[in-house]
A and B are shown apart, each in its own frame.
Chain A
């Protein structure tokens, strides 16, 4: 079974500083990976996804993520954070089954705090 580890429960970053959120996955085949963001009391919004091809993927709101198969990682980055980026960030992996309809396995999330 697949699993996702987000080793950082909380991260505090100053506004304007760069950001990297870590995600490691465990999956037997080629994974497909997602980053979602959740603001307080809200649902999940897709930031970006990796299915195949270029290992550096661009997303919305200036985020990018890099897939590194050798490290089983899919870390999320942003060069300069804004106060509005404060939220919960979830990394997720999807199953590669024949049915084409399987739930995602989420990491426990990283709570991002932005300092002024």
Chain B
């Protein structure tokens, strides 16, 4: 089945230690998104890739970066995680057309010690 896969499902890191979260898709969608969802809150868009074009949300901290080496993979890098970065990180994909549905992966829950 075509799907969005996120690895790992759970990630524990130490305060200030860089961490990378992975997302892959078999849907061949042009667009990949990263959302941050803190406990009991709505998902919040961090940034997205439209093909190779990176689009950052205005209020996304510089501590968060992303890479998309090819259509299938997208990575979220947190350069120096703080306690406030503990959250569920959701990857989503869509086709690059108006009003397209976004398909979400299962998420990676990040814990910062």
Q: Taking the nearest CB of chain B, how far is it from the CB of A101, in angstroms?
A: 4
The interface residues of chain A lying within 8 Å CB-to-CB of B96 are 99-101
Query: Is A101 touching B41 in the complex (CB atoms < 8 A)?
Result: no
**B80 on the A face (CB < 8 A):** no
Query: Is B45 touching A103 in the complex (CB atoms < 8 A)?
Result: yes
> Which of B45, B55, B98, B104 is within 8 Å of A96, CB to CB?
B98
**How many interface contacts (CB-CB < 8 Å) are there between A and B?**
61
Query: Is B50 touching A108 in the complex (CB atoms < 8 A)?
Result: no
The interface residues of chain B lying within 8 Å CB-to-CB of A99 are 50, 96
The interface residues of chain A lying within 8 Å CB-to-CB of B6 are 43
Query: Is B35 touching A103 in the complex (CB atoms < 8 A)?
Result: yes
Q: Which residues of B pack against A, CB within 8 Å? A: 4, 6, 30-31, 33, 35, 40-45, 48, 50, 55, 57, 90, 92, 94, 96-107, 109
Q: Which residues of A pack against B, CB within 8 Å? A: 32, 34, 36, 41-46, 49, 51, 90, 94, 96-97, 99-104, 106-109
